[in-house]
A = this chain, B = another copy of it.
């Protein structure tokens, strides 16, 4: 629909982990893009609403976005040091969530699942001092 939105989407695709709106905005400006912060926010929201990017909340309440390779439902294994992110499927979790909801008479079940850890290369650099 819009050139701006595509530019935001591209910036996100070039990133490895999850990025905040402010983050994306700063990077785009750095690379000479002429875009306003408000538009970045709007583009990210639209992309998230359209399911083209994934969103999650950091511990300090910031929304961060990622253009994932998989369009199917999946979850994330995120390194809490470098942000390196792996997309993971979890059929067992999907079934569990549905089952636990059903057992208690709940309907229209949704769920949020995120896994955090320290990735191999970060572990290595810590050991190296």
- State the A residues within 8 Å of B (CB): 57, 61, 63, 77, 79, 86, 88, 90, 92-93, 96-97, 100-101, 104-120, 123
A79 to B108, CA, bound (A): 10
Whether the pair A100, B112 counts as a contact (CB closer than 8 A) is no
Residue of B nearest to A91 (CB): B96
Assuming A105-B120, A108-B118, A109-B115, what are 12 further A-B pairs, CB within 8 angstroms?
A57-B61, A77-B106, A86-B104, A88-B100, A90-B96, A92-B93, A104-B120, A105-B123, A107-B118, A108-B117, A110-B115, A112-B112
Residue of B nearest to A78 (CB): B106
A/B interface sample: 11 pairs, CB < 8 A: A57-B57, A77-B100, A92-B96, A100-B115, A104-B120, A106-B119, A107-B118, A108-B118, A111-B114, A112-B112, A112-B113
